[in-house]
Structure 1
Amino acid sequence: MRMHWDDLPPATRHAVVAHTGPLYATNSSDKGLNSELAAILDTRAGAVFVKGLRRDHPRVWTQEREAAINPYVLPLAPRLLWTVKDDDWHLLGFEQLVGRPADYSLHSNDLPLVAEAIIKIACIRAPADVELKQIAERLADYVDHPDDAALLQGDTVLHTDWTPDNVLIVDNVARVVDWAWPTRGAAWIDAAYWVIWLVSAGHPPADAELWAAKNPAWSTAPPRALDVFATAQQRLWAGIAADAPDVAWKRQLADAAQQWLDYRRA
């Protein structure tokens, strides 16, 4: 259930104000759907985006992971300004980006900007001091053989969630938000994740792959590895859509994943 600023315990709010100074206004945000709290705080130093989970939430570890990876994915990601962690809540305060979600539709002027962001991320080596799952671990339930999963392994930082809401166009630059699931894997994989979102937005799979190929790392992916990844995504999204048959965007992503897999099989 989405919480609001005033729902936080007084002690937690006071701990935030110790970082921000007086608050002039607070507004709940419709972004950060995986967070129990998402709000924009109007402070003396400017707007701050705060997101958080209660300490007993099963995914509270994603807060720790997002904080740990932040220094390595700047300036693409918004800068983490502070962390509040008390007995009840774990909150992260970020610089508030003023932008709009990327447009993935055919002929959109945003597509080269998103491609450039993916290229930059593909150049970030996974830091040794941040615990990151291998993409092969995350997709293990959707591949047939361990040797197949090994084709996805690598030492690059991956974002893995290329919903347009996570890519904000700010001053004609694509900035990437919501790093709750950073992962370690092959440098071509974020581009492959993007393929499914492009197909969902109306791109034929062949054209979507051409956009993915803007990332130089795409050429390092063996065809078998792309087939394994496409199969895993089809199985993943089919399961997600089956669990939520009334959610249109999940059905659209499942259909896009199927289209891409059919294309690769052909």
Structure 2
Amino acid sequence: MSSTFRIGGDLDVRRLGFGAMHLPTEPGPGRENALAVARRAVELGVTLIDTAHLYGGGANEELLAEALHPYPEGLLITTKVGVARTGPGGDWKLDGRPEILRDQVRQALRRLRTERIELLQLHRIDPDTPLADQLGTLRELHTEGLVGRIGLSEVTVEELERAREIVDVVSVQNRYNLLDREHEPVLAACAAAGIAFLPWRPVAWGKTGAEGEIAAVAAELGATPTQVSLAWLLGRAPVVLPIPGTARIGHLEENLAAAGLELTSAQRTRLDRLAGAARAATG
């Protein structure tokens, strides 16, 4: 099992990354700890960090820049655009209008203190804006040299196929974990095409007997259930790049240690059965 993946065929990252969404950005001890967590992630070898405009309206991007700029060679910070405070009363809503996407990219470049976003993902497809307009704008930003590569988030197989007719899609970020495999067809499509698949919420517990089985496998390996869940993801397909998030250094170290955990084929078979059992239990 390879520990690295080449996004878009030319961008090498370690497969187990870090999701920055949970890092506190308000001034105070929480922010200081968040800065330490981000720095520790890089110290431990993380080369893929995920953020988004939605996370604090860009405050998360600013936090990462404060923690890590000037960025070490090989570090990829990927961000997402397409959700804005343009709803009634300034509420967050999907907004993929070209002017919104362009503005959020400009803000991300400023906040991240960079001249180019190597991987930009559309946070969600806005149903009120033609897909060609949304992806056409990202393609223009790529042509202008402001964006290196384009990805999507929370899409179906059909949406992925339509998008690939417009732009070169190098990544997909969908919800997926050991107990929640709704997007199995999307993962299969990504694996067939060599597209990076970044599962968000990579660890989740059901309310059936699944936790017991995961805990049993963890005990056999001298690991934690979280590590077992992440190791299962890493072994699921070479294109899978989990991005577990945390605001605690202890949890971060636990998560990243999962890269060295190897499941036996028998253990993997037991874990593979859990999603079906969880679906049956919840009706």
TM-score per shorter chain, which class? under 0.3
**TM-score using structure 1 length:** 0.27
**TM-score using structure 2 length:** 0.26
Q: Is the strand fraction higher in 1 or 2?
A: 1
Return the structure number with greater relative CO, CA threshold 8 A, min gap 6: 2
